[in-house]
Amino acid sequence: MGGVFQVDQAEFIEQAKQFQLEGQTIAVVKNNAYNYGLDFAVKAFAIAGIDYFATTSIEDAIYIRKICGQKVNIFLLNPTTDFKRVKQHRLEITLPSLDYYMSYKHDLVDIDLHIEFEGLFKRSGFAKINEVEAFLNDAKANDFDLNIKGLWTHFGYADEFDGVYEKERQLWLDFVEGVFELGIHPSVVHAQNSASFMRDGLLNNHSHVRLGIGLYGSKPFESLDSKDFIQSVSVTAPIVQIRQLKAGESLGYSKAFTATEDCKVAIVDIGYGDGILRERIKHGCEIGGRSYEIVALMMSHMAVLVDDHVKMHMPVYLYGKSQRIDHFTALGVGANSEQLGAFNYNSMRREIVYDD
């Protein structure tokens, strides 16, 4: 028993086909491919025609190389010092700062590098053009033949509409122009996540979009049409027991729920230990096509206030066609990726629905 994370493969592939920019899409598959499963997602994206992947883990990057062979490009978003395996598996890596270059410049020869710009997000990356110029001058002085294949940043504000994204975008475009003026013209220029891509299409002087959540079927911001984003995943759990509570009786940790009248409560085999966020339970669940209130959340279970329509055999839906991940994002449960990333894929069963 327990929670089930189910993905419809055909729908997943259909979404990837309709959302990508053909031949110019880098699929982000970090964190176990947003918990859809790295093996499943990479193979499905490959069927959809995507041949460029980005992740934060060198182990994941190596696994992608093993299942896809040499026909795909793999970019490591996080800095690494494991240069031996980077070269062995022909991985592309980020060049995040002048300090990083100065520390490891002798190891960077013969590796495809992507210069990173920090932008407004300031997670990592070069802050100014003169830092890029400094490492280029040092490489020239030391006769290092560096392979500068890419140029990239992360837009942290593309799903916000208060004017900050426009500033972050312009800072990035100015940085790109500055790099070009230094005589560097990388073949892969990528900055746009799903939200930026939906707002602007492909930006000038860019070769690729680097897409995450939109490829997986969730809207990057609320005003978009749900019809353009196929949610291929559902999360369900079985009912363990239907209990009768009398008025005044309580259940759950610290008497989380106390009945104000005689009622029925379904105990469901899923909880916060499986990755159900506490904010999520504020918005109920669906059983037999009807909405019901979740009244208590425990580590491995939750309690749902039900009526006579609910029977033991009925699955309880926390996510599904009528319970979209992005809908709960709009309600303040957490970002699309936050809800997906919370799922405990060690405790929840995963099922893939294949076409017959």
Q: What is the architecture of the domain spanning 21-214?
A: Alpha-Beta Barrel (3.20)
Q: How much is the mean pLDDT over the chain?
A: 96
pLDDT of 107 > 80? The answer is yes
Is 253 catalytic? The answer is yes
Same fold yes or no, 21-214 and 233-353: no
What pLDDT sits at residue 123? 87
Question: Each residue of 291-311: pLDDT tens digit?
Answer: 999 999 999 999 999 999 999
How far is 190 from 210, CA to CA, in rounded Å? 6
Q: At what angle do helices 38-47 and 9-19 cross, to 10 degrees?
A: 60
Stated pTM of the model: 0.95
Is 30 catalytic? The answer is yes
Question: Each residue of 240-271: pLDDT tens digit?
Answer: 999 999 999 999 989 999 999 999 999 999 99
From start to end of the chain, where are the E strands? Answer: 4-8, 25-28, 52-55, 73-76, 92-95, 112-117, 147-153, 188-190, 209-211, 233-237, 239-245, 250-251, 257-258, 263-268, 285-287, 290-297, 302-306, 316-319, 349-353
What pLDDT sits at residue 345? 81
Query: Which structure tokens are listed for 71?
Result: 């026909």
Active site residue: 30, 52, 216, 219, which one?
30
Residue 102, number of CB atoms within 10 A of its CB: 11
CB 64 within 8 A of CB 53: yes
What pLDDT sits at residue 278? 95
How far is 30 from 28, CA to CA, in rounded Å? 6
Instruction: Tell me the domain boundaries of the chain.
Output: 21-214, 233-353
Question: Each residue of 17-75: pLDDT tens digit?
Answer: 999 999 999 999 999 999 999 999 999 999 999 999 999 999 999 999 999 999 999 99
Q: Map residue 268 onto helix, strand or coil.
A: strand
CB 53 within 8 A of CB 29: yes
What pLDDT sits at residue 356? 63
Active site residue: 246, 253, 272, 282, which one?
253
Say yes or no: domain 233-353 is CATH 2.40.37.10: yes
